[in-house]
Amino acid sequence: MPHPHETPEQTARVQVLGALRAALRGQASPRLQTPRAVVPAASLWTGAALWDRRLASLGLASGDRVVVALPPGPAFLMALLGCWRRGAAACPLDLADPLAQNPDAALDAFDARLHVAETDHPASLAPDPAGAPRASATVARDAGEPAPDLALILSTSGSGGPPKRVALTWANVHAQLASHTPALAIAREEVVLSALPWRHAFGLLVDLLPALLSGATVTLESSGGRDPSSIIDAATRHGAARLSLVPLQLRRLLETPAGETVLANLNGGVVGGAPIRADLAGALAGARLRAGYGLTEASPGVCLGAPGEWREGWLGRPLACHTRVSEDGELLVRGPNVCAGRWSSRRLERQPRDRWLATGDVVEQAGDGFVHLGRTDHRFKLENGRLIDAPAIERQVRAALPPGSEIVVTTEDHRRLLARVSPGAAAALRRAWPADLPPPLVEERILELTPKGEPARAERKIIAEAAA
């Protein structure tokens, strides 16, 4: 029972740590398996306790922030859990982020007390029982106002623009784990192949932590999910029963001879991060994978589909949150999973807890679930005032293009439409172009894909131009 003087956030923190303690302390399973070692649950919890004591000796307290610039592995997980035991918010960074290699800048950006990074120096912050690279720390003497309700500050993927930093509270984390862990129904001792980055909400709160709370063996895929042959090798060698992916990883797997076999042998997993195209939905018809939808600002879970339930754009059904569709078709979310706000300019920009969060996704109701139609920021107006629903046009035209072709409809001057299309598809595009729209300027090129597998709408670079 909650203590009578506890705040809801304190209660949520106690519940999150209680669940982790029950799953890890003194247990052989779950296990974290890396190319270097197999670390049992008890060692993970002991490592977290060592971090907690070390953080206390450095003067860190509840509400402080800790920048964690470590690769996925035992050291990362122990540092994260050590922060949580201390009541500090963990701020994981991509090692390619300039802040990961610049402690002073990172401390300033997060108004943090500590920056933790890899080192081979023997006088390290805390030894890793698994023998992974040790961690060193840069300590700031002072930091700003503590925020004891925060558990995580996570970056969005940045595939649709510059990454944003989102502040998740203990209540957010508890709501996410309490709803998704039982819904995913991961069996004890099942092998979960981890191929998603733990610094993002999907990899951490949908994939890694529910697996550990379920008593599974988490096997870390060595390429970070970038190499389909490595994913296939790890899945086959370790007998993986679960694998969560973004659509780009899924597409690359299916392009290999063994990819379909690996997917058919899985008991489950979540495909999320971007909507599923028709061809992928068809390829998944016999698999036990399920659709998952959400955004970092929603911790990230909003919807979950049933295993093997697929159609183009299928997002699943709302899970433990309230949803509604606005007059212009945008999906709105409200509930305990909605974040406290964004971290910007060294401070938290708090938002009302009971607000409706605008997802930016245009959807239609499909039974008790939703189908994705596009993004609100992909619609635009021409100079004459006509509203162009680019995703709707792309869906219509793509169905008539050669298999595997991509299309992006945009404008550069708001006077005429521009359609970028895969090489060899221009003629089919012109034939399928809606008669009520002005003919577009057509460019054939290999389209740059975002990390989630969608064509980049504002291309950062031209990968290759097709021959005229």
- Identify whether 240 is part of a domain: yes
- The pLDDT value recorded for residue 194 is 98
- Identify whether 362 is part of a domain: no
- Identify whether 421 is part of a domain: yes
In this predicted structure, which of 157-161, 296-300, 389-393 has the lowest mean pLDDT?
Answer: 157-161
User: Do 144 and 225 reside in the same domain of the chain?
Assistant: yes
- The pLDDT value recorded for residue 285 is 85
- pTM, two decimal places: 0.89
Q: What tokens were used for 443?
A: 């460019």
Distance CA 121, CA 136 (A): 8
- Identify whether 367 is part of a domain: no
User: Do 290 and 410 reside in the same domain of the chain?
Assistant: no
Please count the other Cβ atoms lying within 10 Å of the Cβ belonging to residue 414.
12
User: Do 343 and 395 reside in the same domain of the chain?
Assistant: no
Q: What tokens were used for 60?
A: 């860190």
User: Do 273 and 402 reside in the same domain of the chain?
Assistant: no
The predicted-structure confidence for 200-254, as pLDDT tens digits, reads as follows 999 999 999 999 999 999 999 999 999 999 999 999 999 999 999 999 999 999 9
Q: Which domain holds residue 459?
A: 382-465
- Identify whether 370 is part of a domain: no
The predicted-structure confidence for 415-448, as pLDDT tens digits, reads as follows 899 999 999 999 999 999 999 999 999 999 999 8
User: Do 193 and 299 reside in the same domain of the chain?
Assistant: yes
The predicted-structure confidence for 35-46, as pLDDT tens digits, reads as follows 888 999 999 999
* Bridge partners, residue 125, by sequence: none
User: Do 218 and 115 reside in the same domain of the chain?
Assistant: yes
Report whether 402 contacts 428 (CB < 8 A).
Answer: yes
User: Do 66 and 200 reside in the same domain of the chain?
Assistant: yes
* pLDDT at 126 > cutoff 60: no
- The pLDDT value recorded for residue 163 is 81
User: Do 311 and 396 reside in the same domain of the chain?
Assistant: no
- The pLDDT value recorded for residue 62 is 94
- Identify whether 371 is part of a domain: no
Q: Please state the rounded mean pLDDT for residues 316-339.
A: 97
User: Do 433 and 344 reside in the same domain of the chain?
Assistant: no
Q: What is the CATH number of the domain that holds 223?
A: 3.40.50.12780
User: Do 92 and 178 reside in the same domain of the chain?
Assistant: yes
End-to-end CA distance of the chain: 71
Please count the other Cβ atoms lying within 10 Å of the Cβ belonging to residue 412.
9
User: Do 341 and 386 reside in the same domain of the chain?
Assistant: no
Q: What is the CATH number of the domain that holds 457?
A: 3.30.300.30
- Identify whether 361 is part of a domain: no
User: Do 275 and 411 reside in the same domain of the chain?
Assistant: no
Q: How many structural domains compose the chain?
A: 2
Confidence class for position 1, pLDDT limits 50, 70, 90: low
Q: What tokens were used for 343?
A: 């971290």
The percent helix, strand, coil of the chain (3-state, each to 5) is 30, 25, 45
- The pLDDT value recorded for residue 404 is 86
- Identify whether 374 is part of a domain: no
Residue 433: enclosing H or E segment and its boundaries? none
Closest CA to 347 of 88, 68, 108, 84: 108
